C-alpha cells in the first residue's frame, strides 16, 4: 500500500520559512508543502542599509529573488506557493485561513488544511510599518510592492540633507555609517537611549563603533531617548523631541529601534506576554506549557531573544527532522539549544571598515569589511533561499 502524503503548511516566506521548506523536501518525498507568503520575492533585507542609501552599490537581483523560481524543480504535488496573508489558525480543525492575492485582487475565506503547521511569520519594525519617521522597508510587508517601497525610500534618503536616526543598535549604526558616506555631505545625527552604542557588544566594540562614527562626522547623542517625532508638511521638516526636553530637527527621521511580531493570526494562547510564540526545545509550539505535537515555530516569531540569521538554518534542520520523525513515528527528536553558538556581532560602519566581536575576540575593521561590509552578505542570499546554510 502506498504511504499517505502528509500536508505541511508553512506560514512565512523569509529566511526561516524557506529553510524549513527546502530541508523538508530534501528529507522526504511524502510531503506536500503549501507555503503562504505575502510576497513572491525573497527579500534579503540584511543588506538594506547598503542598497537603501547607495542605490547603485548592489544589483537588485542580489537582494530580491523569486521564491517560485527557487522551487521550480519540485512538482505541484510536492510544493505550492500561495501569495497570501494568514488571518487565522484553527488548530482543532487543523486549518489556516488566509487572504490570497490572485490577478491583482485579494480574496478572503481561503482555507488550507494541514497535518503539520510551521509558523515562520517573523517580525517587522515600526519603520517598515511607517508608524514613526520615514517609511523604510527594513522588512517586507503584506502585499506591498517591495521594489517600489525600496525605490521610494532611496529617493527620499538621497534628497535629504539632514537625517536623524533613532536607535544605537546594529541597524542604527550601520545606517549612520552608510549615510555619512552618501554624496552631498549629509548631516547625520544618531540618538541612542543607552549610554553606549551596540548594547550586548563588548566594551571595546562599543567604544570603537562610537569612534568610527565620530570619524565620519556623525553626531552621536547618547543616553537620550526619543520621546516623539512629528513631521511638518508646511516646513517639510521632522521635529524629534528627546526625553531631556530638547528638540532637534532634520529633513528625515529614521526609527531603527524595536521589533514587532507578525502575530495577528496566531491564537493568543500560543503567545507570551510580549506577543512571541512560546516553543519548547524541539521548537514545538507550547499551549499552556504543553507542546502541540503537530505545530512548530522558528525564526524571529519565537520567544528566543537572539533573533539571528545565523541560527535560522539550525532551527530549520530541527523542525524538518522532527516533522519527518513524527511522520515515521520514530523516536529521538532533535532539540534546539538556543545558546549553542558563540555570540557574534559584525557591524559595518561604512564601505570599508566596521567593528564587531566573535565571542570575546574583537574583529578588526578589515575583517568586518571582508565578512560583511564589502557587500552585506548578498552572495549568501541564494544559499538561504535554497535552505543550504549551515
Per domain, the residue ranges of the chain are 6-122+262-341, 124-259+342-385
Which grid cell sits at 229?
Answer: 517625532
Rounded distance, CA 133 to CA 126, Å?
A: 9
Rounded distance, CA 8 to CA 319, Å?
A: 12
At residue 341, the pLDDT reads 54
Q: Provide the residue-wise pLDDT of the chain in tens; the chain has 390 residues.
A: 457 899 999 999 999 999 999 999 999 999 999 999 999 999 999 999 999 999 999 999 999 999 999 999 999 999 999 999 999 999 999 999 999 988 778 899 899 999 999 999 999 998 998 888 999 999 988 878 899 999 999 999 999 999 999 999 999 999 999 999 998 899 999 999 999 999 989 999 999 999 999 999 999 999 999 999 999 999 999 999 999 999 999 999 999 998 999 999 999 999 999 999 999 999 999 998 999 999 999 999 999 987 778 789 999 999 999 999 999 888 778 998 765 555 789 999 999 999 999 888 999 999 999 999 999 999 999 988 887 654
At residue 286, the pLDDT reads 97
Rounded distance, CA 74 to CA 83, Å?
A: 17
8 forms bridges with which residues in the sheet?
33, 116
Taking alpha carbons only, the member of 387, 242, 238 closest to residue 317 is 387
Which grid cell sits at 147?
Answer: 521594489
Rounded distance, CA 109 to CA 107, Å?
A: 7
Neighbours of 183 (CB within 10 A): 7
Rounded distance, CA 389 to CA 372, Å?
A: 16
CATH numeric code, 6-122+262-341: 3.50.50.60
Rounded distance, CA 209 to CA 248, Å?
A: 23
At residue 1, the pLDDT reads 41
Rounded distance, CA 18 to CA 316, Å?
A: 9
Backbone phi and psi for residue 166, each to the nearest 5 degrees, phi listed first: -100, 115
**Taking the mean position of all CA atoms in its chain, how far away is CA 378?**
14
Q: Which CATH architecture has domain 124-259+342-385?
A: 3-Layer(bba) Sandwich (3.50)
Strands 354-358 and 79-90, how do they pair? unpaired
214 forms bridges with which residues in the sheet?
none
Rounded distance, CA 297 to CA 387, Å?
A: 16
Helices (H) and strands (E) in the chain, counts: 11, 22
At residue 237, the pLDDT reads 96
Classified as helix, coil or strand, 89 is strand
**Distance set, CA 341 to CA 13, 298, 368 (Å):** 25, 16, 19
Contact of 187 with 161, CB cutoff 8 Å: yes
Q: Do domains 6-122+262-341 and 124-259+342-385 have the same CATH topology?
A: yes
Contact of 154 with 135, CB cutoff 8 Å: no
Amino acid at each position: 500500500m502506498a504511504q499517505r502524503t502528509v500536508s505541511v503548511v508553512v506560514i512565512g516566506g523569509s529566511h526561516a520559512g524557506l529553510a524549513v521548506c527546502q530541508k523538508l523536501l530534501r528529507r522526504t518525498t511524502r510531503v506536500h508543502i503549501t507555503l503562504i507568503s505575502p510576497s513572491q520575492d525573497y527579500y534579503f533585507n540584511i543588506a538594506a542599509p547598503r542598497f537603501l542609501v547607495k542605490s547603485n552599490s548592489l544589483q537588485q537581483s542580489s537582494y530580491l529573488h523569486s521564491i517560485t523560481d527557487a522551487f521550480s524543480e519540485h512538482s505541484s504535488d510536492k510544493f505550492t506557493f500561495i501569495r497570501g496573508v494568514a488571518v487565522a489558525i484553527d488548530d482543532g480543525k487543523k486549518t489556516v485561513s488566509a487572504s490570497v492575492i490572485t490577478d491583482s485582487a485579494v480574496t478572503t475565506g481561503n482555507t488550507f488544511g494541514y497535518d503539520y503547521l510551521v509558523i515562520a511569520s517573523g517580525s517587522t519594525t515600526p519603520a517598515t510599518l511607517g508608524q514613526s519617521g520615514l517609511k523604510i522597508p527594513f522588512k517586507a510587508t503584506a502585499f506591498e510592492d517591495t521594489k517600489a517601497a525600496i525605490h521610494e525610500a532611496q529617493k527620499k534618503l538621497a534628497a535629504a540633507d539632514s537625517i536623524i536616526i533613532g536607535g544605537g543598535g546594529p541597524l542604527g549604526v550601520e545606517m549612520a555609517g552608510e549615510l555619512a558616506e552618501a554624496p552631498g555631505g549629509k548631516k547625520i545625527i544618531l540618538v541612542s537611549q543607552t549610554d553606549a552604542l551596540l548594547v550586548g557588544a563588548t566594551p571595546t566594540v562599543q567604544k570603537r563603533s562610537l569612534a568610527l562614527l565620530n570619524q565620519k562626522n556623525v553626531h552621536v547623542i547618547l543616553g537620550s531617548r526619543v520621546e516623539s517625532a512629528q513631521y511638518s508638511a508646511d516646513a517639510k521638516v521632522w521635529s524629534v523631541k528627546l526625553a531631556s526636553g530638547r528638540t532637534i530637527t532634520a529633513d528625515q527621521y529614521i526609527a531603527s529601534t524595536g521589533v514587532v511580531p507578525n502575530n495577528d493570526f496566531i491564537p493568543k494562547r500560543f503567545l507570551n506576554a510580549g506577543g512571541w510564540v512560546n516553543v519548547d526545545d524541539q521548537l514545538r509550539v507550547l499551549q499552556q506549557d504543553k507542546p502541540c505535537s503537530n505545530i512548530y515555530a522558528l525564526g524571529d516569531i519565537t520567544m528566543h531573544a537572539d533573533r539571528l540569521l545565523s541560527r535560522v538554518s539550525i532551527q530549520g534542520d530541527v523542525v524538518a527532522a522532527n516533522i519527518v520523525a513524527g511522520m515515521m513515528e520514530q523516536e529521538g527528536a532533535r532539540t534546539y539549544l538556543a545558546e549553542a553558538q558563540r555570540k557574534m556581532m559584525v557591524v559595518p560602519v561604512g564601505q570599508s571598515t566596521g567593528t564587531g566581536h566573535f565571542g570575546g575576540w574583537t574583529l578588526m575593521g578589515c575583517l568586518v569589511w571582508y565578512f560583511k561590509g564589502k557587500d552585506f552578505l548578498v552572495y549568501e542570499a541564494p544559499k538561504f533561499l535554497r535552505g543550504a546554510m549551515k
